Amino acid sequence: MRKEVKPRGAQDGAGVPARRAALRLLDAVLRRGIALEAELVRAGAGLPPNDRGLAHAIAVEALRRLPDLDALIDSATRNPLPQDAKARFALRIALVQTLALGTPPHAAIATVLPLVDGGPRKLVHGVFGALTRKGVALPEVPALPDAVAERWAAAWGDAMVQAAARAVAAPPPLDLSLAPGVPPPEGATVLLPGHARLPAGTAVTALPGFAEGRFWVQDVAASLPARLIGPGAGSALDLCAAPGGKTLQLAAAGWKVTAVDISESRLARLSENLARTGQPAAVAVADLLEWQPGEPADAVLLDAPCSATGIFRRHPDVLHRVRPALIAETAALQARLLDRAARWVKPGGTLVYATCSLEPAEGEAQLVSFLAEHPEFAMDPVRAEELPAGIAPLADGTVRTLPGMLAESGGLDGFFIARLRRG
Ligand SMILES: C[S@@+](CC[C@H](N)C(=O)[O-])C[C@H]1O[C@@H](n2cnc3c(N)ncnc32)[C@H](O)[C@@H]1O
């Protein structure tokens, strides 16, 4: 009689599919360098929403805590497990649940052992048991991966690295940009006019006014590039626009906006956001290395694709998958995009360049080479009163937000912003 071959995972008990999906997410980020959110679409396909949410929560928390989890694992094995060993992944998943997510140890290990069926079950069980019996805990301030700590210390100093480590410990607050005339929700902190900050974990879709488009989610740092363009009645190009936080701001400030992005799926979200908030904008799906507008614009905003290391609090996968080669690659793309964006600014018009990156190659260095090659542009220095209290423009008129700034009110994303005027 032929033995029936069951696909892997076919006999999974309750709770195991979520852990299998968490394993797949971590594997995608750590071994293949894929963004967590991109993999979530694939790894979560077919899973009920609760399992999908749990897989995501486990993976995100493991990425926040990876160096500390690995140090614990290494303290309990005679020879260090290879970084890509399945046993290490299984242990990270079991430990992070017990030590950070409040899962009882027996449930954490029982749902993880099926991931190493036919493999190192005994080892995983033994290491997990030894660590939990010892009563180990994660440190209050997570350790950053060595390569990140070294890179950021060289760029910004040790105090920034310590602030970044504190900031990675927990998800950030929920920041909203408010449509014109909308008051901040009750209990919100207001860092700038038209802004509201609510505690981390607030469900935005459950807030009164969400469906009516009275606000949209946008970190206060991410709201600065469009704010710095100011109100206007002329034409504005929002380049690399999706999912559209800045398009909404520009439209709400009175600009006649054309929003361009290469990603159809992200632009679909931009169109949903326009529909929900009732803000008008023309939308174009295009590669900006090929597209060009019918005529130059009064204001051009380039929120360029980047390593996204400035948003590590919400997307801790960047701490592990962004390497120097990726930073160099995105910096080269930014230079080409910036060069094209510059051609589309009317004489006397404004160009704002922004990246949500903590890498000088994607910010400060980009600006230096741009100014050297574009004498027709000069800095339009940002003034202190245009920024939240506690954040000052730099001497050259640019804005650099870093971990540690506004820490007492919940921090903000890492951004670089430069405003230029065409002569
Ligand atoms: C930082 S995100 C933009 C965020 C957006 N400005 C907002 O505020 O919601 C960068 C965007 O650049 C887009 N992008 C990357 N390469 C592009 C290209 N060659 N042409 C047009 N858009 C591009 C990506 O699809 C992505 O949506």
At residue 366, the 3 state secondary structure works out as helix
Q: Does the beta carbon of 246 lie inside 6 Å of ligand 1? A: yes
Is 245 among the annotated ligand-binding positions?
A: yes
Q: What are phi and psi of 254, to 5 degrees?
A: 100, 0
- pLDDT tops 80 at residue 336: yes
Q: Does the beta carbon of 261 lie inside 6 Å of ligand 1? A: yes
The domain spans of the chain are 16-134, 218-422
Token pair 């970084």 in the structure block, residue: 83
Residue with CA at minimum distance from ligand 1 atom 6? 241
> What CA–CA distance (Å, rounded) separates 337 from 239?
9
- Predicted complex ipTM: 0.99
Is 240 among the annotated ligand-binding positions?
A: yes
pLDDT digits over 163-209, tens only?
999 999 988 999 999 999 999 998 999 999 999 999 999 999 999 99
pLDDT digits over 305-323, tens only?
999 999 999 999 999 999 9
Cα-based distances in Å from 297 to 39, 230, 343: 37, 15, 10
- Encoded tokens for 60: 């995100």
Query: From the CA of 15, how far away is ligand 1's center (Å)?
Result: 36
pLDDT at res. 9: 56
pLDDT at res. 72: 98
Strands 345-355 and 297-303: parallel
Q: What are phi and psi of 13, to 5 degrees?
A: -80, 180
CB under 8 Å to 286, separation ≥6 — which residues? Answer: 260, 261, 262
- Encoded tokens for 67: 């160096």
pLDDT at res. 81: 97
Kindly report whether the peptide bond that precedes residue 243 is cis, defined as omega within 30 degrees of 0.
yes
Query: From the CA of 318, how far away is ligand 1's center (Å)?
Result: 17
pLDDT at res. 1: 44
pLDDT digits over 237-261, tens only?
999 999 999 999 999 999 999 999 9
Q: Does the beta carbon of 310 lie inside 6 Å of ligand 1? A: no
Pocket probe mutation, ligand 1, options 237, 240, 288, max atoms within 8 Å of Cβ: 240
Is 86 among the annotated ligand-binding positions?
A: no
Q: What is the DSSP string of 163-229?
A: HHHHHTTSPPPEEEEEPTTPPPPTT-B-SSTTEEEE-TT--GGGSTTTTTTSEEE--TTTTHHHHTT
Nearest-atom index, ligand 1, CA of 303: 6
Q: Does the beta carbon of 190 lie inside 6 Å of ligand 1? A: no
At residue 258, the 3 state secondary structure works out as strand
pLDDT at res. 8: 56
Query: From the CA of 405, how far away is ligand 1's center (Å)?
Result: 26
Residue with CA at minimum distance from ligand 1 atom 19? 287
pLDDT at res. 7: 52
Q: What is the mean pLDDT of the chain?
A: 95
Q: Does the beta carbon of 266 lie inside 6 Å of ligand 1? A: yes
Is 118 among the annotated ligand-binding positions?
A: no
pLDDT digits over 35-46, tens only?
999 999 888 788
Query: From the CA of 14, how far away is ligand 1's center (Å)?
Result: 39
Is 134 among the annotated ligand-binding positions?
A: no
Query: From the CA of 45, how far away is ligand 1's center (Å)?
Result: 25
Highest CATH level, class, for 218-422: alpha beta
Is 303 among the annotated ligand-binding positions?
A: yes
**AA identity, residue 91:** L
Q: Does domain 16-134 have CATH number 1.10.940.10?
A: yes
Q: How many residues does the chain have?
A: 423
Q: Does the beta carbon of 340 lie inside 6 Å of ligand 1? A: no
Pocket probe mutation, ligand 1, options 175, 262, 288, max atoms within 8 Å of Cβ: 262
Query: From the CA of 240, how far away is ligand 1's center (Å)?
Result: 3
pLDDT digits over 92-140, tens only?
999 999 999 999 999 999 999 999 999 999 999 999 999 999 999 999 9
Active-site pick, 18, 356, 367, 402: 356
The number of beta carbons lying within 10 Å of the beta carbon of residue 206 is 7
Q: Does the beta carbon of 289 lie inside 6 Å of ligand 1? A: yes
> What CA–CA distance (Å, rounded) separates 359 from 336?
18
Q: What is the DSSP string of 75-104?
A: HT-SSPPPTT-HHHHHHHHHHHHHHHS---
> What CA–CA distance (Å, rounded) separates 105 from 111?
10
> Would you call 356 a catalytic residue per the annotation?
yes
Cα-based distances in Å from 381 to 393, 405, 406: 8, 20, 22
Burial of 357 (0-12, 13-18, 19+ CB in 10 A): buried
- Which of 40-54, 142-156, 308-322 has the lowest average pLDDT? 40-54
- pLDDT tops 50 at residue 152: yes
Global pTM value:
0.95
